[in-house]
Homo-oligomer: A and B are copies of this chain.
Amino acid sequence: MDFKTLEGGVCAAKGFKASGVYCGIKENPTKKNDIAMLVADVMCNTAGVYTQNKVKGAPVIVTKKNLEKSGGKAKAVIVNSKNANTCNADGEEKANEMCRLTADALGIKPEEVIVASTGVIGQVLPIEPIKAAVPQLMEKLSYTGNLEAATAIMTTDTVKKEYAVEFEIGGKVCRMGGMAKGSGMIHPNMATTLNFITTDCAVSVPMLQKALSEIVKITYNCLSVDGDQSTNDTCMLMSDGLAENPEITAEGAEFDTFKAALYQVMANLTRMLAKDGEGATKLLTCVCSGAPDLDTAIIVAKSVIRSPLFKCAMFGSDANWGRILCAIGYAEADFDINKVDVSLASKAGKINVCANGAGVDFSEDEAKKILTEDEIDIYIDLKLGNEKATAWGCDLTYDYVKINGDYRS
């Protein structure tokens, strides 16, 4: 299925307002937005997936507790960038305070608020600028505020990430849209990064969670920028039901359509995150097919996407397929390396570089032409079954080192 795409990001679905402002969490001469709010017209069913790092940002802990307390109901999101509010003694207190400030302004309960933060770990979050920003965020809330919000959650991202689609459930037109931020410390298990997805399609909390967990596994969790798993990874999916379809409460064709829409939104956001990975000059998409099971396909595709040597070779447009095979070889999965085929492709063409685990003759000139493009596809065929997975990543460049050699300053 391929659904019609829409503008509007998190405001594409009916009943979602957003806003973003600069509040000064960190001194910033360009005064870029650093705090965002997202508010639904009605209470939403909500599902979440969070980082599996033992070090969890305080906002992750607080959001999980809130949704447990509210039974998966939420009406608002408050999120700041530039400070992760993680590893601070007063972290949970501050995250709770962000929820209280938002709840008071909206006349809802604090546990109906989702809170998220991204930025530097281990610096005390200043609450005063946030307190001052909440009334401004409230005032600016609008059904076209998605862009202001999407820019407010950016850290080292160079472009905002939004995507939205339209689909039909039970004869009703439904919409779903999302925003995401990257762009380093990206090797999810789960999500990586902050992701907020809204929909007006009515779905029960358990089915929302089921869809999100399933799709996260094959989208955000198949993304690797640098192999570092963030402490604040959060992916939220909110449904306000305003499309007025009969609520999806079980598996079936409607649930499948919903999941296909969710896949389209999340896969495209994942792709944008990879393409805007820190210092990236090239988007790398690795498709592993012919796998005996889905997990094997995922593990192999991710192993290649994560390899620093392979990533450097792609930066240098070097068809060093030995590094691809090497990364396949250390993937912790069960397959026969002597059956593996590898090919490289871009809009400039496609070439086979490895068949049955050994090199094949190919034109270096043709390979160079293919690899100098800025979107490269790597196809791996294990020739053992019918399962398939995609992993997304980017090249490893001088700029990645530059950005991360002195990120705090």
B407 and A326 form a contact (CB under 8 A): no
Q: Report the bound CA distance from A408 to B225 in whole Å.
A: 24
Q: Which residue of B lies closest to A227 (CB)?
A: B308
* Contact partner, A354, options B122, B313, B323, Cβ 8 Å: B122
Number of copies: 2
Q: Report the bound CA distance from A48 to B406 in whole Å.
A: 42
Stretch at the interface among A14-22, A23-31, A205-213, A228-236: A228-236
Q: Report the bound CA distance from A354 to B228 in whole Å.
A: 19
Q: Contacts A120-B322, A322-B86, A322-B122 given; indicate if A308 touches B404 (C-beta within 8 A).
A: yes
Bitwise, A385-409 to B at CB < 8 A (1) or not (0) is: 0000000000011101111111111
Closest chain-B Cβ to A280's Cβ sits at a distance in Å of 12
A326 and B358 form a contact (CB under 8 A): no
Does A148 sit at the interface, judged by CB under 8 A? Answer: no
Stretch at the interface among A49-57, A110-118, A157-165: A49-57
Does A351 sit at the interface, judged by CB under 8 A? Answer: no
A54 and B307 form a contact (CB under 8 A): no
Does A34 sit at the interface, judged by CB under 8 A? Answer: no
* Contact partner, A320, options B309, B396, B402, B407, Cβ 8 Å: B407
Q: Which residue of B lies closest to A359 (CB)?
A: B122
Stretch at the interface among A93-101, A128-136, A173-181, A327-335: A327-335
Does A147 sit at the interface, judged by CB under 8 A? Answer: no
Does A226 sit at the interface, judged by CB under 8 A? Answer: yes
Closest chain-B Cβ to A44's Cβ sits at a distance in Å of 30
Residues of B within 8 A of A184 (CB): 309
